[in-house]
């Protein structure tokens, strides 16, 4: 009789262990997938950004031209595929200014990674001067490859 009781307790413990293991694995998987989705590079074009109004949330991938006093200036990049982006010609209004705020979160990378020549995805709210007040930054330098502007390779 005691052997059956001990066997049931052991079985119950194993079942409970596997249930906890499945719940923990599911939670970790969901967390990783949510984070990966947030890090996916944006695909915003210049025309879309120009048409946006004050107060709208935007995401854009930019090539950083300059950084000073918590403000960055960069050139919008156009998505070619998942790992290749192309610089847009300057005459297309492809310049974007962004300000880092106290609410800016770095999903990947650190503030020290924002230097001229870096590739970053910025997300935030556009103000009346078309300056982006960032709430999220993803450093994509080393992950994305930037190709030359159109027309520089005989296109």
Q: What average pLDDT score do residues 27-45 get?
A: 70
The answer to whether the CB of 98 falls within 8 A of the CB of 71 is: yes
pLDDT band at 41 (very low <50, low <70, confident <90, very high): low
Tell me what pLDDT residue 155 has: 40
pLDDT band at 145 (very low <50, low <70, confident <90, very high): confident
Tell me what pLDDT residue 153 has: 44
The answer to whether the CB of 127 falls within 8 A of the CB of 52 is: no
pLDDT band at 143 (very low <50, low <70, confident <90, very high): confident
Phi-psi region of 93 (alpha: psi -120 to 50; beta: other; left: phi over 0): left
Tell me what pLDDT residue 22 has: 95
The answer to whether the CB of 154 falls within 8 A of the CB of 92 is: no
Question: pTM (2 decimals)?
Answer: 0.65
Tell me what pLDDT residue 21 has: 94
Q: Is the pLDDT of residue 77 over 50?
A: yes
Tell me what pLDDT residue 16 has: 94
Task: Give the Cα separation of 109 and 40 in Å (integer).
Answer: 14
Of 102 and 1, which is predicted with more confidence? 102
Question: CA 116, 52, 73: angle at the middle one, nearest 5?
Answer: 10
Fold topology of 46-147: OB fold (Dihydrolipoamide Acetyltransferase, E2P) (2.40.50)
């Amino acid at each position: 009789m005691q052997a059956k009781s001990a066997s049931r307790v052991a079985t119950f413990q194993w079942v409970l262990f596997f249930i906890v293991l499945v719940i923990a694995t599911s939670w970790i998987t969901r967390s990783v997938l949510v984070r990966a989705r947030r890090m996916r590079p944006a695909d915003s074009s210049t025309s879309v950004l120009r048409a946006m109004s004050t107060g709208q949330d935007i995401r854009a991938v930019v090539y950083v031209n300059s950084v000073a006093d918590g403000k960055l200036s960069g050139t919008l990049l156009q998505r070619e595929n998942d790992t290749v982006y192309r610089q847009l010609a300057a005459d297309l209004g492809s310049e974007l200014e962004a300000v880092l705020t106290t609410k800016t979160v770095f999903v990947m990378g650190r503030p020290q990674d924002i230097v001229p020549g870096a590739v970053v995805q910025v997300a935030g709210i556009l103000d009346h001067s078309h300056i982006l007040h960032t709430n999220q930054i993803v450093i994509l330098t080393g992950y994305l490859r930037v190709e030359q502007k159109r027309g520089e390779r005989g296109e």
